[in-house]
Each structure stands twice: as C-alpha cells, then as structure tokens.
Amino acid sequence: MFLLVTTWFIPRRWSTAGQRRRYNRSYSSAGVPVVGNFRVKYGVMGKRMKMPMPKLLLGLMVCGTLMPLIYFILLSYPNSTPTITETVVQSLLQKNNSRRAEAPLPLSPDIQNQIRMDPVFTWEKEYTNFMKDQEHRKKALRNACRTLGLIAHKNKIKKEDLYSVIVNDQYGFMYCQIPKVACTNWRRVLLVLTGFYNTTEASELKAKHVHDSYDRDLTYLSELSSGGISYRVKKYKKFLFVREPFERLLSAFRNKIQNHQNEYFFEKFSRKILKKYRDRNMTSETMRQSNVTFIEFVRYLLDPSTRKRGLNDHWEHFNTLCHPCLLKYDFIGKYETLDRDAYFILRNLTPNHWVRFPSREETYKHPTTTNLVAKYYRSISPRFVQKLWKMYEKDYMLFDYQYPSWLPPLKLNSSSFSLQSQPPPSDEPQQSISVIK
C-alpha cells in the first residue's frame, strides 16, 4: 500500500532548468530540433515541481486513518511478539508437552493425612532458625571466597563447567547436584516437578532409573545457549546442598568402591587401585573377591597422577562442581540439617506444589556413614589425614566446616584458620556471569 501511494504521488520524470539550458546551448545553433531530442534524452520537457498540495493532504489523511487501525489490530493480539528470552523459556516449557499431565494430579487421601501427621510440616517455629543459618552460611561463603581469591572482577565460566546445575523452568530455580549429598532424592523431587510422571511421591521413583533413563527429562544449564544461561543465572533462584567433606568422601568409598557394587566404578577405579597398591599380578577373578581398603583408596586420591587425570564427581571439590563464588546461591542447605532445609527450600521455591522430600528411611536401608566415619579415619595414619585435610581444606573453609572433632589434633599450617574472624567482604559475587563457549 505504501509503495502504491508513493508511486501515485511521484511526478513523471521531470527535467531541471539547468538540464534545459545546457541542452539549448548545445543544439540550438546546430539547427537540431531542440524539443524532440530533449524529450528522447531527458523525458518530458518541463520544470521540476514539488508535490501538489492536494495530493499531500490526501496522503496525510490516508496515513492518519490507517495507522490507528493497524495499531488497534496489533493490540488485539496480546503477547504476539514475545522477547527472545521469553520465547526460549516458553519453548522449554512446551518440551514434551504431550507427556505432561493436563492438570496437576490431586493428592490422595492417604498422602493428605500423611502431610497433616508429618512432624516436618509442623516445623514452622524452625523457620527463624533456618533463615538465621542461611544468613550465616552465605556470609561465611562470601568471606571464604574473598579470602581464597575466588571472586574475580570478571566472572567468566565455560559452559561445560556448568554440567552439575539442573534447571527447572516451570518454577524458575536451579539446583546444583553434589554426589553423596542426597542428590538422588533431589533428582526424584525435580522429576516429580516436571509433571512427566504419574506420581506425587518422589520416593516411588527407583534410583537406577533416576540416574539413567529418567535423566532425559531433566534440563542441565550446560545444554543451553550462552544467552539462556545468563538469563537464568540472573532471574532464577539457586540452591545447593553440601556435606562434611570427610564424611562425604567416606560415603563415596563405601557406596562406589568398597564392595564392587557398581560395575562402572569397579572397572574404572577398583581394578587400578588393587593393581597399583596391592598386587600387579592379580587376576580379574581375584580382584572381584577382594575388597579395596580405605587406606588404599586414600593413597589413590593422594597420588599426583590421580589429580592430573581429574577427580570423579563423587569425590570432587565443591567449588569445581558448583562454583559457589561465581554463582550467587539463594539457599545453602547442609546434609546435617537435611530434612529441615529441604522442607523450607521446597516451600519457598514451589509454594503451590506439595512435593515432599523423601526421608532417608524410605530410600536407604544400610547403616549411616555418620556412625562409622570415626572408625574408618582412625584406621589411617595421621600423615595421610594431614594430606587429606590439605586436599579438602577449601571445602571446609567455603562452607564453614571445622576440623573433625573425632580425629586427633593436627598441627595445621598457617593457611588454616577460622573464617569467623575475617572481616565482612566489601564485594559480593555478581549475579551475572560471562559464559565462554
């Protein structure tokens, strides 16, 4: 329409006065028909003139009538042009929409009675203590990040380093999973929140499926674009759970290494440990009948060649997995207060969904590591304990864990100190980060 109107208003090919004068001077003395040749070369002979006033007024009237009409039509279709970030989030929310339930599943009477009778849901008086602990933990983390020099002015991180962070776009939060800190139960909860499973009880999902076939329904931060990562880091709430480092290390040994319960860990780690620290000539059959001892596992961890190859996630450092000095976490949960922290974090992040964090009795049957940790660590020499402490000292500092009281006192170096005496930091971790592809 615009082209039609403009072409109607544009006059024919008019010549300028200068063109007519130059042509007359060139051809009039030679007896050439001036007007005819001028029309062939320059078009209609006439003066260049402005757009006639009636046509100009008519054009203004047409535009003034059509523009409000077009504007009204656009307003009648809300959200017709969403922003790029909203489009990304909406596309993720519609992912596998055919598998999602059309409406939230109603809670069964048994579950409703269980919720009313569950003592966890009467812990409202603990909320004040929970918030005080959160402020203390975040302050201690900021102090440690500043003291250790882990807060950079330009927070840059590679996409592949965010592989431990799981995103939930429906409720707008992110969870950084740390193995051996109830991460299986947290994955159960996140899977229930996706709406892909016909259950409201997270404990009904089997652990082997949670880490295998069900993993396809979880979204990892490292899988998203750089813009999507920056948007979520800035807008979404974030939380993680940590555990006493030595206790977590022992839990990983008992669950993955000690009794060859996991074929992958047997082939990847146990065989190498037995051959290197026990007998190089051991056969495969003998290896399967022999359990790796805790001292052998500790020697493997302290071996410089192990550090060069990189640590497995089950005994990797907190900072490497979750980058707490770059990502500003809204909630820091601890395994020592797991039930209370999980309850209040879920109520904050998912106020309209009564998903319940599974209790340990529902998902684990073997003895707790807490009751055995002193026995295992007293079986190794103080020299190895000292080296382990140096290896995991930053994890203790970042999350305000003290040297274990169930171990004999060690002569700590000058770098070991209590972070409670440090002054408050002048700068906090930034909420936005630069993602390096």
Q: The whole model's pTM is what?
A: 0.70
Where do the structural domains in the chain lie, given as residue ranges?
A: 2-75, 109-436
User: Residue 368's Cα: distance from chain center in Å?
Assistant: 30
3-state secondary structure of 333: strand
Average the pLDDT over each of 110-119, 227-236, 349-358 and give the range with the smallest value: 110-119
* Cβ atoms of 210 and 274 closer than 8 Å: no
Per residue in 305-330, is it b (16+ CB within 10 Å) or e — as a string? ebeeeeebbbbbebbebbbbbbbbbb
d(CA 134, CA 32) in angstroms, rounded, equals 98
Q: What is the pLDDT of residues 373-385, one digit of tens each?
A: 999 999 999 999 9
Nearest to 343 by CA among 159, 39, 175, 126: 126
d(CA 419, CA 142) in angstroms, rounded, equals 10
pLDDT at residue 391 above 80? yes
Q: What is the pLDDT of residues 231-286, one digit of tens each?
A: 999 999 999 999 999 999 999 999 999 888 788 999 999 999 999 999 888 888 88
SS3 content of the chain, % helix, strand, coil (to 5): 55, 5, 35
pLDDT, average across residues 92-106: 43
Nearest to 6 by CA among 76, 67, 63, 72: 63
**Where residue 339 falls among pLDDT bands split at 50, 70, 90?**
very high
The residue whose two tokens read 């201690």 is 140
